[in-house]
A and B are shown apart, each in its own frame.
Chain A
Amino acid sequence: MQFDFNRNHFELFGLVPGFALDSAALEQAYRALQSQVHPDKFTHLSAAEQRASMQWSTRVNEAYQALKSPLNRAQYLLQLQGIDALAERDTAMPGDFLMQQMEWREGMQEAREAADVAALQTIEAEITDTAQQLRAVLARQLDEQHDYLGAAQSVRKLKFMDKLVVEIHDTYEALET
């Protein structure tokens, strides 16, 4: 009878595993679950119930985080296939991608030194566009072609771009103060 605490994130929310995901359904299932298990619903109950509630609520938050963002979701899908996309031995990246990286990085550096916010925004928009296209590729790799190694490569590229965007945001902050 015991509900399996360890079932996978998709099953937890009653969703079909896949990169393409009905985000409204995910959100609805997440809210429905938290409405049942959140610690705020148990403050007037026993310590045992409060503990169980915290564990469940934590678990539901973790699952939601893993599925909500496309990048995390792809990583999780690969993990279900036994692939750790970010394992260090696989970090060799194609040359053209590295070139592109370097260009962005140099552009950031120059914009930073010139305190040129508009230039930063242009680079950010460019990265966001490229990431958008890559996510479409990733969707095909995962859901149609089942090309998991290719997908892992895409995940690594997206991770790089994510980091760049974070750095750009940090730069905005540095320029603001």
Chain B
Amino acid sequence: MALLQISEPGMSTEPHQHRLAAGIDLGTTNSLVASVRNSVSVVLNDEDGRALLPSVVRYSATAAPVVGYAAQCAQSIDPHNTLVSVKRFMGRGLADITDAGSFPYHFVDAPGMVQFRTAAGVKSPVEASAEILRVLRDRAERSLGGELSGVVITVPAYFDDAQRQATKDAAKLAGLNVLRLLNEPTAAAIAYGLDNAAEGIYAVYDLGGGTFDISILRLSQGVFEVLATNGDSALGGDDFDQRVFCWILEKSRLAALDAKDTRLLLTKAREAKESLSEHREVSITAVLSTGETVDLMLNATTFHEITQSLVNKTLAPTRKALRDAGLSVDEIKGVVMVGGSTRMPRIQAAVAEFFQQTPLTNLDPDKVVALGAAIQANVLAGNRGEDDWLLLDVIPLSLGIETMGGLVEKIVPRNTTIPAARGQEFTTYKDGQTAMSIHVLQGERELVSDCRSLAKFELRGIPPMVAGAARIRVTFQVDADGLLSVSAQELKSGVQASVTVKPAYGLADEDITRMLRDSYTHAKDDMQMRALQEARVDAQRLMDATQTALDENAAELLTADERNAIEAAMRTLQGRLDGSDPRAIKDAAEALNAATHDFAARRMDVSVREALTGQRLDAI
């Protein structure tokens, strides 16, 4: 199967029952969208035939934001309003950004996530990412000739809960139905594995513009099982640019630069780095706004020296991942290279040396993630192909809660296969204590201060007891997107509290609504129409799913009364579809969902039985 077929916009679409789905690689430097057409995953190009969309957003006071190449061209002349590599700031507070001084932005310290002051007002990384996603969405819909029913968006495997949640929020803001957040190396493994009918244990080394991931997977009989993952969510090609930039400053004896010159030299640094993938040495020349000039030669040996520590920073996580998987280097059958930064000969040599084999570079490292995401999106949308596979992924970082003395007790260890749930019991430490504060953390270190705080919530109303008598069970549930929700219950009294881990770093629903409203003042679109359209699409999807389920199992699993109740709920929903009130449609959809609850559980039982016995239900 040839995966790298590039299609033209506006080309023919597939048959009607086919649900339109796309895979989106929302990258630090570039973003892409791909889709499966005629059983082949293809990257969708823009009207000028370009596959990549630079992940750059330029805000202005008077016009709608500009995304992509046009914005990229403006980064040197309008650095404050042109946001580059915004993925680095997703789910991050100002305190997390240790090198804030080296960016030409006006950072705004906001609770949870850092924001930027631009000509169009204060913007968050989530909003900027949503602008990029909107462009990709438009591209896909124009190219495929219809509305997308759902997308798979890729995230670095090493993204924590806050970064994943931020990505999901951005998609919501762009009006996308997210079928799944998929880890980038896993997406690459799908594209690579299906294309090469690969079997065995593979490593995926993914060095992008701003993130590094290493994943170890076992591919066997259509199952992609992630054994371990590790990485650094703040390490990528940008850092190599930064090293070259610092070298330029040092060699040219330049003092502090203004934002425009900073951006200019960063761009020169990136060009030099890219050029060194082809040449032994490159010249770097520039004229700064101060009249000072830069005129230097950079050779491969010097580049090697100034970036050696960055290369080593990728090998430490690689060793950890292998150790966590309980494997040695000679057990790895192949190493798949992903991400534009793996084009550097420097990186390829280091990886070859580490794994003692030549890494696999036969798939375009810029496109392989989007292509894999598209294949997965196609399946998740319900377009089952002949080949069926199963993907078993893991959480990258341990999850735990704060205990006495500022220590973290791990509840779900890293590399646990998801979805996963774990519980742990805790108790009160004071007589008569009626409330308990629960602080949820993510990370590998022992001290609370060294881990990322995800959420804090309180379990209240515990009946007064002597210290140590209460039994408080804290349960963590991680879903298939790698997102966490936590609940706590006092077992003797039944008092319960739960939280979807969102408040600390994610957006509240009101924020999303406000941002949507803001964005539509530019787009002349109608919020109400949009909401109505979405409610209708969701409702139709639900009715289709319910009808399929009824056709399959109603006869064996439902009494006549039960079936009537479900069909009545479907009729109610159908009746409201033509109305203009999205709320009414949503309520009726909720009611239908509730009516199918037991039916869904029974259908699942049938599936489980069949899996175990390999027989149809009627044969049991």
**B619 interface contact, C-beta 8 A:** no
Chain B residues, CB < 8 A from A29: 611-612
Q: In the complex, which of the residues B390, B594, B607 contacts A40, with contact meaning CB atoms closer than 8 Å?
A: B390
B382 at the interface (CB under 8 A from A): yes
Complex Cα spacing A8 to B599, Å: 24
B596 within 8 A of A: yes
Contacts A34-B390, A34-B392 given; indicate if A14 touches B549 (C-beta within 8 A).
no
- What's the minimum C-beta distance from B562 to chain A, rounded to whole angstroms? 13
Contacts of A2 in B (CB 8 A): 602, 605
* A61 and B418 form a contact (CB under 8 A): yes
The answer for the CA separation of A38 and B391 in the assembled complex, in Å, is 9
Q: CA A100 – CA B258 in complex, angstroms?
A: 64
Does A79 sit at the interface, judged by CB under 8 A? no
Known contacts A2-B605, A56-B608; decide if A46 and B596 are in contact (CB<8 Å). Answer: yes
Are A58 and B419 interface neighbours, CB within 8 A?
Answer: yes
Whether B542 contacts A46 by the Cβ 8 Å rule is yes
If over half of A's interface residues share one DSSP class (helix, strand or loop), that class is named, otherwise mixed; here it is: helix
Q: C-beta contact mask, B152-173 vs A, less than 8 Å → 1, else 0? A: 0000000000000000000000
Does A46 contact B600, Cβ atoms closer than 8 Å? Answer: yes
B319 within 8 A of A: yes
A residues within 8 A CB of B594? Answer: 48
Decide if A40 touches B379 in the complex (CB within 8 Å). yes
Given A33-B608, A36-B608, A45-B545, the answer on whether A58 and B420 have CB atoms closer than 8 Å is yes
Taking chain B's interface residues, is the majority helix, strand, or loop, or is none over half, making it mixed? helix
Asked if B122 is at the interface (CB within 8 A of a chain A CB), the reply is no
Asked if B353 CB lies within 8 Å of chain A CBs, one says: no
Contact of A52 among B601, B609, B612, B613 (CB under 8 A): B601
B252 to chain A, nearest CB (A): 33
| B526 interface residue (CB < 8 Å to A) | no
- Bound state CA distance, A19 and B523, in angstroms? 64
CB pair A39 B223 closer than 8 Å: no
Chain A positions within 8 Å of B452 at CB level: none
Say how far A43's CB is from chain B's closest CB, in angstroms: 4
- Among the interface residues A14, A54, A58, A65, which one has the most CB atoms of the partner chain B within 10 A? A58
Complex Cα gap A40–B464 (Å): 44
The total of Cβ contacts below 8 Å across the A-B interface reads 125
Contact across chains for B612 and A14 when beta carbons are under 8 A apart: yes
Given A3-B605, A45-B545, A173-B320, decide whether A58 and B421 contact each other with a Cβ distance below 8 A.
yes
> In the complex, what residues of A have CB within 8 A of residue B382's CB?
43-44
A162 on interface, CB distance cutoff 8 Å: no
* A176 and B604 in contact, given A44-B545, A45-B545 (Cβ under 8 angstroms): no
Chain B nearest Cβ from A101, distance in angstroms: 21
In this assembly, does A32 line the interface, its C-beta being within 8 Å of a C-beta of chain B?
yes
* Range, interface on chain A: 35 or more
Q: Tell me which of A3, A13, A31 contacts B390 (CB under 8 A).
A: A31
Q: Which residue of A lies closest to B592 (CB)?
A: A46
Known contacts A36-B610, A49-B549, A62-B420, A177 near B601 by CB under 8 Å? no
Q: Decide: A43 and B319 in contact? CB cutoff 8 A.
A: no
A169's partner among B223, B323, B391, B479 (CB-CB below 8 A) is B323
In angstroms, how far is the closest chain A Cβ from the Cβ of B385? Answer: 14
The answer to whether B608 touches A58 (Cβ under 8 A) is no
Q: B418 contacts which chain A residues (CB < 8 A)?
A: 61
A47 to B539 alpha-carbon distance, docked (Å): 11
Q: Are B611 and A48 in contact (CB under 8 A)?
A: no
Shortest C-beta distance, A171 to chain B (Å), equals 12
Beta-carbon contacts under 8 Å, B179-218 to A = 179-180
Query: In the assembly, what is the distance between CA of A99 and CA of B60, in Å?
Result: 71
Q: Is B541 an interface residue (CB 8 A)?
A: yes
Given A40-B391, A43-B150: A52 and B604 interface contact (C-beta under 8 Å):
yes
* B380 with A44: CB separation less than 8 A: yes
B517 at the interface (CB under 8 A from A): no
Cβ of B585 to closest chain A Cβ, rounded Å = 15
User: Which residues of B are found within 8 Å of A45, using beta-carbon distances?
Assistant: 545, 548-549
B549 contact set on A, CB distance < 8 A: 45-46, 49
Output the nearest chain A residue to B609 by Cβ-Cβ distance: A3
Taking CB atoms, residues of chain B closer than 8 Å to A61 are: 416-420
Interface flag for B19 (CB, 8 Å)? yes
- Residue of A at shortest CB range from B477? A58
Q: List, in ascending order, chain A residues with CB within 8 A of B391's CB.
A: 38, 40
- Is A123 among interface residues, defined by CB-CB distance under 8 A? no
29 CB contacts below 8 A, A to B, read A1-B605, A31-B223, A32-B612, A32-B614, A35-B390, A36-B607, A36-B611, A38-B391, A40-B391, A44-B150, A44-B179, A46-B542, A46-B545, A47-B593, A49-B600, A49-B604, A52-B600, A54-B479, A56-B604, A56-B608, A57-B419, A58-B420, A62-B420, A65-B416, A169-B323, A172-B319, A173-B316, A173-B319, A173-B320
Question: Interface of A with B (CB < 8 Å)?
Answer: 1-3, 13-14, 29, 31-40, 43-49, 51-54, 56-58, 61-62, 64-65, 169, 172-173, 176-177
In addition to A14-B612, A29-B611, A40-B391, 5 A-B residue pairs with Cβ atoms within 8 Å of each other are: A32-B614, A36-B611, A40-B379, A43-B179, A49-B603
